[in-house]
Amino acid sequence: MASADKPINTDVPEKDVFTLHFLQSLSNLRRQNTFNSPEKTNDRVKKIKKAAYVSMARAAGGTNRLWSRALLRRAAKENSKVVRFPRRKKRVTCLRRRRSNRRDPVEEEEAERLRNLVPGGGGMETSKLMEETAHYIKCLSMQVKVMQCLVDGLAPK
């Protein structure tokens, strides 16, 4: 019961890392032949969006974060690629604690909405969910800044 609280670590890497990853992903999208056709803009949009999320997940910490791991796994599933992540023993205990710890129905209604938003939120305890949300928000805002800069740079003058 008496557990020392570790300081919440939500350090997010610099803008450069995000931009690097995003640009890499974009350049690889270029490689695809079907990408540059003037029609099918919607597909392109979807692909770009996916690329943005995946690059963000990688830039933010790869498999070290729960949400990024879930994101990457989701993306890989859509491509039907087998993804292997390093197994961690923590996960099992987390799931076991899940049943006993997640009570308090008043909070859970809103936590449910958060869980739907944040990737990988379904398997997390509420306190862990908060940490992940904080980090996710930071990374999202960083990614938005990067994309905004790109768009501004590319805008026809």
Partner 1 sequence: MLEGLVSPENLSLSSMDMSVLERLKWLRQQQQKQVVSQSSDNSPELLQILQFHESNNDELLQSTFSHFQMLGSGFGPNPNMGFGPSREAMDGCISRTSSLQMDPVDTMGVMLKNSEENRTISSKNKRKSEVKRREEEKTEKKIKVAAETESNMKGKSSMSNNTEASSDTSKETSKGASEIQKLDYIHVRSRRGQATDRHSLAERARREKISKKMKYLQDIVPGCKKVTGQAGMLDEIINYVQSLQTQVEFLSMKLAVLNSELELAVEDLYLHAYFTNLPVVNASKPSIMVDVPLFPLDQQGSLDLSVINLSQTTSIEAPSASWETQSRSLFNTSSLGFHY
* Closest alpha carbon to 137 in 113, 109, 117: 117
* Closest alpha carbon to 114 in 103, 104, 125: 125
Report the C-alpha gap between 128 and 116 in whole angstroms.
15
DSSP state of 8: P
The span from the first CA to the last CA of the chain, in angstroms, equals 62
Q: Which is nearer to partner 1, 91 or 113 (CB)?
A: 113
Residue 53 tokens read as 């999320």
Q: Which is nearer to partner 1, 41 or 89 (CB)?
A: 41
* Closest alpha carbon to 72 in 111, 36, 25, 29: 25
Q: Does 52 bind partner 1 (CB under 8 A)?
A: yes
- Counting residues that bind partner 1 (by CB under 8 A) gives 85
Q: Are 94 and 123 in contact (CB under 8 A)?
A: yes
CB of 62 to partner 1, least distance (A): 4
Among 50, 94, 98, 123, binds partner 1 (CB under 8 A): 50
CB of 65 to partner 1, least distance (A): 10
- For partner 1, the binding residues in 69-128 under the rule CB under 8 A are 72, 75-76, 79, 81, 83-85, 101, 103-104, 107, 110-111, 113-114, 117-118, 126-127
CB of 120 to partner 1, least distance (A): 14
CB of 94 to partner 1, least distance (A): 14
Q: Which is nearer to partner 1, 120 or 143 (CB)?
A: 143
